[in-house]
Structure 1
């Protein structure tokens, strides 16, 4: 992949680009949003990494919003500080496909880009996610299984969305705590297991198998 890294912390950006290079990726680094626009307009990239807290008149959310308004549809992953839940939500609402908490692991960044690229294009636009007989409409906050409407609470819906979004891959408890609860809980807490049980109850239909698979010692997954 050829990636554009929009990050004003030069040592961090350089280190990330170096680690990505060991995975076979080429990176271009820019330290502000305005110059990034010109690069995107004239050059080809497979994905964009943008820091949420850019110094200057345009922060990362403004950059993401501008790119999406300009119909730039390539994958965008936003970098955030530890525990900044509101910043994550703001970035996702602006059009980011995913986010990572700094310091960034290049291998995880690579995996997340590949996961985004596996999603059908119409899924990114419509907000509809599918895995097996489960369908989730992210925009409408509604879910169905085997054509039946599923009633779930807010956090259960977010948990289901993440499992379906990453169907076929294991989501660790730590990953689910990060994406669903925003690091509000200790990763060793039983909050994930408790909500998975509630979600299983909501998804239960007589005669159909449990769609959530427990990967012992790791986490949970829904098969695609």
Structure 2
């Protein structure tokens, strides 16, 4: 895999040079934005394959910026880089809509591997199935969601969540199952990351439609049901 078009939003010139050197050597093109607002305008106006985002920017936090990116419809994978590498920092980033989180300092090889893995997942290169349940469709290869034939725009993490619910349609899905299979965590970080993301997915699946499809089973988890 090569030739990705990457947007890097980072105020530190040395880090920007490091990332550009690594990704350019891997065959990719990197556009650099030195502040959040410039990055937001670039991401909204140009189709990138992936965004690499610093957590601490001069005009806004990376956490706020990723939320703004999702709000304006930027649905490409986002990899956050940060000197804050504790578990709670990573969870906060994932909660905001980040798809992966890499602590500084990092090795070039790991950065490239993370970028490649995110891009593979975003393009469903190892899958070809279409899952149909009720009036919903999950196109795994295209990574698209549909309800009643209408496209439902999802972020990469929301799509992973939707796909997992579709793979377990009609069954109760626990928080532990979501943490392990969607967030790749083997422990409960004691945050509202699941509630926030399930809430976003529910709104997107149900707004404009007559009947709800994603049910909260209090004390147990969630269940996707057909209508």
Normalising by structure 1, what TM-score? 0.57
User: 1:3 maps to what in 2?
Assistant: 6
Q: Distance in 1 between matches of 2:46 and 2:58?
A: 24
Q: Are the counterparts in 2 of residues 7 and 51 from structure 1 also a CA contact under 8 Å? A: yes
Which string of whole-angstrom CA distances, capped at 9 and with x for unpartnered residues, describes residues 158-182 of structure 1?
344455xxxxxxxxxxxx78xx688
State the shift of 1:82 in Å: 4.4
| Unaligned ranges ≥5, structure 1 | 131-135, 164-175, 183-224
Q: Distance in 2 between matches of 1:110 and 1:3?
A: 12
Q: Distance in 2 between matches of 1:68 and 1:42?
A: 13
1:53 maps onto 2:86 in alignment = no
User: 1:185 maps to what in 2?
Assistant: none
Q: Distance in 2 between matches of 1:35 and 1:113?
A: 22
User: Aligned runs of 1:94-173 on 2, under 5 Å?
Assistant: 94-119=96-121, 120=140, 121-122=143-144, 124=156, 125-128=158-161, 136-137=164-165, 154=176, 158-162=179-183
Cα RMSD (Å): 3.1
Q: Distance in 2 between matches of 1:104 and 1:18?
A: 13
Q: Are the counterparts in 1 of residues 9 and 35 from structure 2 also a CA contact under 8 Å? A: yes
Q: Distance in 2 between matches of 1:95 and 1:160?
A: 16
| Unaligned ranges ≥5, structure 2 | 122-139, 146-155, 190-227
Q: Distance in 1 between matches of 2:42 and 2:30?
A: 12
Candidates 33, 46, 49, aligned match of 1:30: 33
Normalising by structure 2, what TM-score? 0.56
Q: Are the counterparts in 2 of residues 78 and 100 from structure 1 also a CA contact under 8 Å? A: yes
Which string of whole-angstrom CA distances, capped at 9 and with x for unpartnered residues, describes residues 172-195 of structure 1?
xxxx78xx688xxxxxxxxxxxxx
Q: Are the counterparts in 1 of residues 6 and 51 from structure 2 also a CA contact under 8 Å? A: yes
Which string of whole-angstrom CA distances, capped at 9 and with x for unpartnered residues, describes residues 118-160 of structure 1?
3342483344376xxxxx449xxxx96x987676x74x75344
Q: Are the counterparts in 2 of residues 3 and 28 from structure 1 also a CA contact under 8 Å? A: yes
Q: Distance in 1 between matches of 2:69 and 2:24?
A: 25
